[in-house]
Amino acid sequence: MRELDLEVAGEFILMAATLIRIKVKMLLPRNVEEEEGEEEDPRAELVRQILEYKRFKEVAESLTDLETQQRRLFPRSYFEWEKKYEKKEIILQDVTMFDLLTAFKYVLDHIPKTTVHEVGPTGPTIEEQIQFLLKLLEKKERICFKELMSELKERITIVVTFVAILELIKTHRILVQQASIFGEIWISRKAA
């Protein structure tokens, strides 16, 4: 019992017994009374089991393929390998999306609250704010995120400017860096 795998041996004996039973039913003569009643083909159950096994095997293969595809995906979360931005005595680290959202929430929390809402024209577009940011970066080498947002007075302008910053990051036209955790966030034009 220790040397043999009883489960595999049991499955083998069951299959052998099933095949022998099918063979015996096929070889034995049938009674005339049994022929009138429609008797099920003894091979039908085996065919059903084989088809079910085939379906399970196909599903297992598709799950294996999905697992293989997932193994090839590596989410971006480790930034130590990226080149550090160095200029004079300031050493900046890369900014994560969490840092940007934290700074954005801070700006939204500290804008002056207005109780009266006047319906007026829609604020600037994302394209206009992209141009605004690029012109600022032509004048200055880098811009402090909090200072930039504190100059903007309307909530819609702040939101559109934030989306413009995200779009510029996505298109690799600007760099956003931070010297330390909870430190100032600096925006600069990406070197060509």
* pLDDT exceeds cutoff 60 at 14: yes
Which of these ranges, 60-69, 123-132, 182-191, has the smallest mean pLDDT? 182-191
Locate the DSSP E strands across the chain. Answer: 85-87, 90-94, 142-144, 174-178, 185-189
Evaluate if residue 63 carries a pLDDT over 60: yes
Domain shared by 117 and 170, yes or no: yes
97 and 48 within one domain: no
| Residue 140 in domain | yes
- Same domain, yes or no, for 42 and 94? no
- Percent of the chain beyond pLDDT 70? 78
Whose CA is closest to 154, among 184, 132, 122? 122
Please choose, from the candidates 103, 104, 143, 152, the residue with its C-alpha nearest in 3D space to the C-alpha of residue 124: 152
| pLDDT tens track for 68-108 | 888 887 766 655 655 555 555 445 567 777 777 888 888 88
171 lies in some domain: yes
Residues 89 and 184 in one domain: yes
Q: Are 74 and 58 in contact (CB under 8 A)?
A: no
What pLDDT was estimated at residue 89?
A: 47
Is residue 1 one of the residues assigned to a domain?
no
Contact 57, 65 (CB under 8 A): no
Q: Which helix (H) or strand (E) holds 157?
A: helix 155-170
Q: Is the pLDDT of residue 35 over 70?
A: no
**186, pLDDT greater than 50:** yes
Instruction: Judge if 99 and 126 occupy the same domain.
Output: yes
In a domain, 143, yes or no: yes
Q: Report the percentage of the chain scoring pLDDT > 90.
A: 5
Domain with 54 in it:
6-71
Please indicate, yes or no, whether residues 102 and 57 belong to a single structural domain of this protein.
no
121 located within any domain: yes
- Rg of the chain (C-alpha set): 36
Domain end residue (candidates: 14, 48, 71): 71
Q: Among 39, 71, 103, which residue terminates a domain?
A: 71
Q: Which residues pair with 186 in a beta bridge?
A: 144, 177
Q: Is residue 77 part of a domain?
A: no
**Is residue 117 located within the same domain as residue 185?**
yes
For residues 53-61, average pLDDT: 90
Q: Are residues 57 and 101 in the same domain?
A: no
Query: How many domains does the chain fold into?
Result: 2
DSSP-assigned letter for residue 46: H
Residue 76 lies in a domain: no
pLDDT of residue 31: 65
The CB-side HSE value for 92 (13 A sphere, CA atoms) comes to 18
Pair 92, 178 in one domain: yes
Count the residues in the chain: 192
Q: Taking a C-beta distance cutoff of 8 angstroms, is the pair 190, 141 a contact?
A: no
Q: Are residues 30 and 54 in the same domain?
A: yes
The answer to the question of residue 79 being in a domain is: no
Q: Which residue has the higher pLDDT, 25 or 61?
A: 61
Same structural domain, 89 and 66:
no
β-sheet bridge partners, residue 94: 177
**pTM value?**
0.39
Look up residue 86 and give its two tokens.
């160095």
- For the chain, helix (H) and strand (E) counts, in that order, are 7, 5
State pLDDT tens for residues 122-155.
778 889 889 999 898 888 888 888 888 888 888 8
Same domain, 18 and 40: yes
